[in-house]
Structure 1
């Protein structure tokens, strides 16, 4: 069960309606600073948990919007059998096995009396499968809370909410799962019996409190007649024992509650909980994990360990959301299960877009870095150039008869001429100056040539960093703009060469 679609209306930096499509695996959200990456997490947080303490709904409303409405809507797909077994939810699950929830202010819903009204932000509404209208039936939120409870880890949070052991926290859920077998053990039953003895036996807690009880009975009886009072103490359950726990960290400064440590260590502990959950919680219900800037405070190997754990979680039907600035994080992109959402500051259709499909398998870090972040790399350029060149040399040449050897493409220059002839309208041209090898001005001569395709120049500059130029004008030296333009040209040529 996973969030397949998210719709925001006038939520923070997203003016009007913006839609996001997600996959069941890992969903990377990328973009420059202040484009709304964290706002997506805040929107999901608002949808399921409502406003934070002391927060006003106006704080979520887009500054440039004249509308007084703001809402968040999410559609779940592949609804689990466990959720479908909840009778209160059955009218809201479609034949396509989806469920849509909505929260905001001034949104139209059908109330418990069957009348239409405008709902406020305290109401979580559910879309009926038959009418498409949103309802808020009594008790539905409590019935569904266990199934729709995403774990959100913000970059700027001190993470206190994730360090306690209450049953709703990730750590509490993990410890409860691991302690489950202990509940039926003879050891735990012995503890419960000893607790009962401490309360009820002679000299126990009840005896110590008997005078207080008798005094209270007399005080009540003086007003209402004879009334007997008794104190009852329940035997603690495992939940009660676990939820009172805390995480302590010990270093050179001694042992302290983790909340008293620095934010870097706190975040490391929270992410360690996520990794532990992926390792131990084998049979837990599917969840959503939202991690803001997973690369924060982490060196590359630690990032790999975290992403490996998230890979394992996503394979176990847990959905992952990652806000990141790091191409290194995107090394773990799986084109079969994952998605990349790219945000920008521009308005219109390009404000939110899905990363276009990738051409390399396994995933090339150079390609995903370019398509997600717009950063050109030498690796991507060389890989594109080589794959096109190899196709032309080994496939196109195969169709040329032996007697027509002049048509053979058997050198870099011949391949450059081929590109120039076939894709002249795509390619930018530059002058390629004469140059020599460093060892000898008479050896390794490369003649000057005018109007050479840009990919050929960039390829040669990358492959031959040892050349000696006639002067220092730098004509042959490519810059990042040249590299980007050449990569764009090669992508276009690739699509034409390899199209079906």
Structure 2
């Protein structure tokens, strides 16, 4: 099960309505600070526990209503809603295995199966009825939403207490529960069961409590009829023992509870637990579970995982997340181009966030489609982070040259066509609208050819960097500046991306 779509309406920094679609593997969120990346995390928190509108509404939109709609997809949805506390959701799974829920401040109403009118407000989780296309609330208040999915958050600037929680739905609890199945068959645990029975049985606490039981029975019999009373102290499930656990960290011989450590250490612990969790053999764990123990996947929300990590550590973390993503959906906000080095379209998606008025609020990675193999690392870094790189310039140059050559584009009034030579491509570029031409500071001659355009000059300088000094002592082959490389990139991007361009057939 994974989140396939999220819709925000006047939620925090997103004014109006915003739809976002996600991949079931790893979803990267990139963009400038304060562009709304972590707001997506907050939207999930709102679905889980939002109780008042004021904490979530967009600024200057107090007169409007705030809502978040989450669409879940997955072939395992039908099995998950068969669990006892989710059975009310079973009829809400559509034929294409989707379940859509919403939390909204807008008052509403629905009619239950008995014909009774029921009101809806912010405290209700609403579920879309696929037959009527209306939202309903079959489970009363929102308590069952916690049984539908588990979410683990790791924020860059906040403490991460969830990772010190040993509850069964938390990562430490899942980690311990998954690896202690054999322990429950161990003699130590069996001896504890025997000792518990002895302590609370006929030879222990039970006789001591019999007088109290009799007194209660007497009152019940006199006032309500004959009734037997018995105190029972069953052995708590092993996960209840785990809930009392705590993580201690020792430094310089001093043990301290993890919850008392600073944000940096708590964050390091959280990311370490995630990586250890990825190493568990899920196939072995799943085979030990009964049909009523269907394990819901954890959804991971990780804010800037590169913080405090050098590139090699980032690489190891990404490998762990890649493994986890085979079973659990992951959302990552990042400012690190390095973290995107292993980006692949098969299991990853990317969203580029922007607050610039001339740009889309959120651009999908599928919009980064300059190449047949898009998005490339250079493409992501340029459009997501504004990184001007020589590698991306040459990637664009080579791709554009090959395309123009394969299409037999002509120049010199159609008398010549672009071939494999860079000189022929340079002549074709020289005839394009908005072309950036070389000048006296950017002169390059090779085999009796002189570079005409800056894209060709920059490409040649990158491949063969050196200065040329003329007879007057002037350097006529200066290194291209970052801005000159950016201008050349933008020119080539426009050639590939402009619907009015003669290269529309690239699409």
Category of TM-score, reference length = shorter chain: 0.7 to 0.9
Alpha-carbon spacing, 1:275–1:147, altered in 2? closer, same or farther (3 Å): farther
Distance 1:38 1:472, change over 3 A: farther
Counterpart position of 2:123: 122
Task: Name the counterpart of 2:290.
Answer: none
Aligned pair 1:62/2:58, yes or no? yes
1:115–1:484 Cα change, 3 Å: farther
Q: Is the 8 A contact 2:48 2:145 kept in 1?
A: no
Match in the other structure for 1:402: none
Q: 1:474 to 1:40 in 2, by over 3 A?
A: farther
| 1:109-167 Cα shifts (integer Å, max 9, x gaps) | 41656556653221111010111111111368555633322222222221112212012
Partner-residue secondary structure (3-state), 1:315: coil
- What's the CA shift for 1:218? 7.0
SS in 1 for 2:378: helix
Q: Which moved more, 1:149-158 or 1:41-50?
A: 149-158
- Quote the Cα distance in structure 1 between the aligned partners of 2:450 and 2:167: 73
1:383 to 390, 395, 399: 395
Match of 1:82 in 2: 79
Where does structure 1 lack aligned partners over 5 or more consecutive residues?
Answer: 400-404, 437-443
Q: Quick one: structure 1 residues 232 and 492, their matched pair in 2 at CA, closer, same or farther if it must change by over 3 Å?
A: same
The alpha carbon displacement at 1:433 in A equals 3.8
Instruction: Quickly say closer, same or farther: Cα 1:434–1:388, change in 2 above 3 A.
Output: closer
Is the CA contact 1:27–1:321 (under 8 Å) kept in the aligned structure 2? yes
Q: Is residue 341–residue 377 contact of structure 2 (8 Å, CA) maintained in 1? A: yes
1:239 and 1:332 mapped to 2: Cα distance? 38
Larger mean CA deviation between 249-258 and 21-30 belongs to: 249-258
**Contact 2:3 / 2:72 at 8 angstroms: preserved in 1?**
yes
CA distance in 2 between partners of 1:47 and 1:310 (Å): 24
Change (3 A) 1:25 1:138: closer
Q: How far apart, CA to CA, are the structure 2 residues paired with 1:386 and 1:40? A: 37
Other structure's SS at 1:250 match: strand
CA shift for structure 1 position 458? 1.8
Q: CA deviation at 1:85?
A: 3.5
Tell me how far 1:34 sits from its aligned partner.
Answer: 1.0
> Who is 1:439 aligned against?
none
* Greater Cα offset, 488-497 or 271-280: 488-497
Determine if contact 1:433/1:448 at 8 Å carries over to the other structure: no
**What TM-score comes out, normalization by structure 1 length?**
0.83
Tell me if 1:484 matches 2:486. Answer: yes
Worse-matched range after superposition: 342-351 or 30-39:
342-351
CA contact (8 A) 2:6 2:19 kept: yes
Tell me the secondary structure at the aligned position of residue 467 of structure 1: coil
Q: CA deviation at 1:72?
A: 0.6
What are the equivalent positions in structure 2 for 1:305-316 lying under 5 Å apart? 305-316=316-327
The residue aligned with 1:365 is: 377
Q: Separation in 2 of the partners of 1:364 and 1:61?
A: 36
Contact 2:306–2:334 (CA under 8 A) maintained in structure 1: yes
Whole-Å separation in 2 of the counterparts to 1:286 and 1:186: 31
| 1:268 CA drift (Å) | 1.2
Q: Give the structure 1 partner of residue 463 of structure 2.
A: 463
Show the counterpart of 2:255.
255
- Give the Cα separation in 2 of the matches to 1:323 and 1:348: 23
Distance change >3 Å, CA 321–CA 445, structure 1 → 2: closer
Question: For residues 436-478 of structure 1, what are the alpha-carbon distances to aligned partners after superposition, in whole Å with 9 as ceiling and x for unaligned?
Answer: 9xxxxxxx8899969x312022223323432144567888443
Q: For the residues of structure 1 that align with 2:492 and 2:438, how far apart are their CA atoms?
A: 16
Say if 1:22 and 1:339, in contact at 8 Å, map to a contact too: yes
- Contact 1:84 / 1:90 at 8 angstroms: preserved in 2? yes
Which residue in 2 is equivalent to 1:374? 386
**CA-to-partner distance for each residue in 1:309-352, whole Å, 9 max, x for gaps?**
11111123x21111111111112321122211111113587112
Match of 2:329 in 1: 319
Going from structure 1 to structure 2, the CA distance change for 1:29 and 1:118 (only over 3 Å counts) comes to farther
Determine if contact 1:2/1:77 at 8 Å carries over to the other structure: yes
Deviation at 1:229? 7.3
* Distance in structure 1 (CA, Å) of the matches to 2:175 and 2:384: 34
Q: Report if the CA contact (8 A) 2:443-2:477 is conserved.
A: no
- 8 Å CA contact 1:106, 1:118 repeated in 2: no
Match of 1:162 in 2: 163
